[in-house]
Structure 1
Amino acid sequence: MSKSNSEAADVTSAWARVEDWLREYAPTSHASILPPATEAEIEEAESQLRHHCGYGFPPELVALWRVAGGVRQLDIDEYDEEGEVGTGQFLPHGLLLTPAQSIRPRLAGFDYQGKDYWEGAQWAAPFGNYSEATDTGLYLSATGLGKWSSYEGMFMGEPLYPSIAAYLEAVGRTLVEGPAERMGSDVPGIVYGCLIWQDPQSPRLDETAADWRPVH
């Protein structure tokens, strides 16, 4: 099996474990997963990335989009009056972006004169803190998966995981086996049928905090 085929198998297997868990324990989050992205959607986004940056999407990311094209926010206002709970925010560090959403952070580094504020770094943004994905999220480069932000200048941290598959495998093991703190201070919990990660000592949920229950 070639390296690209192996990467595709690894990421789809890791995603399936997370999706199976969501289907059983967090059905609202599971329902927020979009169908597989079409080849046209992937090719359109990749053509823009190649035009501006000179490179395309990593095969591992394309393999993930071929089983899950991103996520959407479902309306659960009858339970969540403050709109705090993001049904698609079931992963730590960010939500899975669509192909079109994923190129925004990288292309935002080019101003009208074509200057690249990311200084030629080659990366894609599989995950963002929200669908517009222009402030922070997780990048994927040849060195792995790490955090990026543009809050106070452009910043790319050291890789946290060697691949998307390794990241999703860690998510799956945390959900199924524990411990809750396997991936850091944010731990998984359920509220209104949604998987939400937060630090119990400093919860990000406010009005709905009392309804959140940790998985472990």
Structure 2
Amino acid sequence: MTTEHVERTATAWRQLTEWLRVHAPTSHASILSPATEAEIEEAEGHLRHYCGYGFPPELVALWTMAGGVQQLDIDEYDEEGEVDTGRFLPHGLLLTPSQSIRPRLAGFDRQGNDYWEGAQWAAPFGNYSEAADTGLYLSADGLGKWSSYEGMFMEEPLYPSIAAYLEAVNRTLGEGPADLMGRKVPGIVYGCLIWQDPQRPRLDETFADWRPVH
């Protein structure tokens, strides 16, 4: 990734977090402090040891602004169903450095064989903090979907970079249309930005309180 990608990532992330601060304060509060150099180096050390490469600069730049997300308790949580305060991106959670390498390193057996045939990627975004089954990978080719339900499967990249992905998120939130990034559209519930398909809502118990951004 070029210096331009790093700068664009930083600009897009700042724009997104400012939008969250104004429109989805609970989601904004779920963002962790920047990852420390030691946290990034420890995770990258494991990645280099097993895979022979480190993190893309664009991803490191993102972690120096936000080290991941956390789940916050909200008053409505117990009675109205689960609302993941950190799931403010259309493809899940921003993972911490250590969380992001788990699925990649899980591809090695005890003999050191790599079932994923050396594919270079990290999982910066995941459906769950364990990052065990699906999410978005980042490789030299861009940002795309991966899953491991029936063996490792990587779809073609959706976006050329994290910067392009975050810029698309910002365009969707600011200008629209709501379905610019697919069937899931952004909405607010209990101060959280949550993306879901209105025809097949994930938040069944809270859908009545969910309000689309557009």
TM over 0.5, yes or no?
yes
Residue 80 of structure 1 contacts residue 208 of structure 1 at CA under 8 Å; is this kept in 2?
no
Distance 1:186 1:23 in 2: 22
Residue 190 of structure 1 contacts residue 212 of structure 1 at CA under 8 Å; is this kept in 2?
yes
- Structure 1 partner of 2:194: 196
Q: How does 1:1-216 map to 2 (within 5 A)?
A: 4-76=2-74, 78-81=75-78, 83-216=81-214
Normalising by structure 2, we get a TM-score of: 0.97
Aligned-pair Cα RMSD in Å:
0.9
| Equivalent position SS for 1:101 | helix
Over residues 12-47 of structure 1, what are the superposed CA-to-partner deviations in whole Å (9 max), with x where a residue is unaligned?
001111111000000000000001100000000000
Identical counterparts, % of pairs: 79
Q: What is the aligned length?
A: 213
Deviation (angstroms), 1:5: 2.4
Over residues 60-94 of structure 1, what are the superposed CA-to-partner deviations in whole Å (9 max), with x where a residue is unaligned?
00000011110000011x20225421000000112
Residue 29 of structure 1 contacts residue 194 of structure 1 at CA under 8 Å; is this kept in 2?
yes
| Equivalent position SS for 1:21 | helix
Over residues 154-186 of structure 1, what are the superposed CA-to-partner deviations in whole Å (9 max), with x where a residue is unaligned?
100000000000000000010011110100110
Normalising by structure 1, we get a TM-score of: 0.96
Distance 2:3 2:180 in 1: 28
| Equivalent position SS for 1:197 | strand
| Equivalent position SS for 1:103 | helix
Residue 69 of structure 2 contacts residue 93 of structure 2 at CA under 8 Å; is this kept in 1?
yes
Q: Which runs of 4+ in 1 moved over 4 A?
A: none
Over residues 141-165 of structure 1, what are the superposed CA-to-partner deviations in whole Å (9 max), with x where a residue is unaligned?
0000000000111100000000000
Residue 81 of structure 2 contacts residue 205 of structure 2 at CA under 8 Å; is this kept in 1?
no
Gaps in structure 2 of 5+ consecutive residues: none
Distance 2:132 2:114 in 1: 15
Amino acid at match of 1:123: W
Residue 123 of structure 1 contacts residue 140 of structure 1 at CA under 8 Å; is this kept in 2?
yes
Distance 1:210 1:91 in 2: 21
Distance 2:2 2:46 in 1: 22
Amino acid at match of 1:187: V
Gaps in structure 1 of 5+ consecutive residues: none
Residue 34 of structure 2 contacts residue 66 of structure 2 at CA under 8 Å; is this kept in 1?
yes
